[in-house]
Amino acid sequence: QQQVRQSPQSLTVWEGETAILNCSYENSAFDYFPWYQQFPGEGPALLIAIRSVSDKKEDGRFTIFFNKREKKLSLHITDSQPGDSATYFCAAMNQGGSAKLIFGEGTKLTVSS
């Protein structure tokens, strides 16, 4: 049972466009949602994260929008650059529980120039 789901599986945008990556979850106890970025041949690295008390988190060109009622969140990458081409993983954690992250399946983003 996949507790964290991502869509689309892959996404291609042109340089300068906004990429939108979607994520949904099932467990209402999840209260922390990091996004990890992974380049080919490397391990994932934390990109940006949001806690459930917030509905928006910005960090430069990266913004998370969070809808607690619908159990959905999205990562927006504005002014996409070829260097943003990577796989993005949405993850979730119950901070009051164990130190376990539950990862989604990932979205492979390609930014074409």
Partner 1 sequence: EAAVTQSPRSKVAVTGGKVTLSCHQTNNHDYMYWYRQDTGHGLRLIHYSYVADSTEKGDIPDGYKASRPSQENFSLILELASLSQTAVYFCASSDRGNQDTQYFGPGTRLLVL
Q: How far is the CB of 79 from partner 1 (least distance, A)?
A: 26
DSSP notation for 36-102: EEE-TTS--EEEEEEETT-SEEEETTEEEEEETTTTEEEEEE-S--GGG-EEEEEEEB-TTS-S--E
Q: How far is the CB of 103 from partner 1 (least distance, A)?
A: 4
Q: Of the ranges 20-28, 45-53, 56-64, 69-77, which one interacts with partner 1 (CB under 8 A)?
A: 45-53
Q: Is 99 in the site for partner 1 (CB under 8 A)?
A: yes
Closest to 11 in 3D by CA, of 21, 1, 2: 21
Q: Of the ranges 4-12, 21-29, 53-61, 62-70, which one interacts with partner 1 (CB under 8 A)?
A: 4-12
- Using the rule CB under 8 A, which residue among 13, 20, 48, 49 binds partner 1? 49
Nearest-Å Rg of the Cα atoms of the chain is 13
Q: Is 69 in the site for partner 1 (CB under 8 A)?
A: no
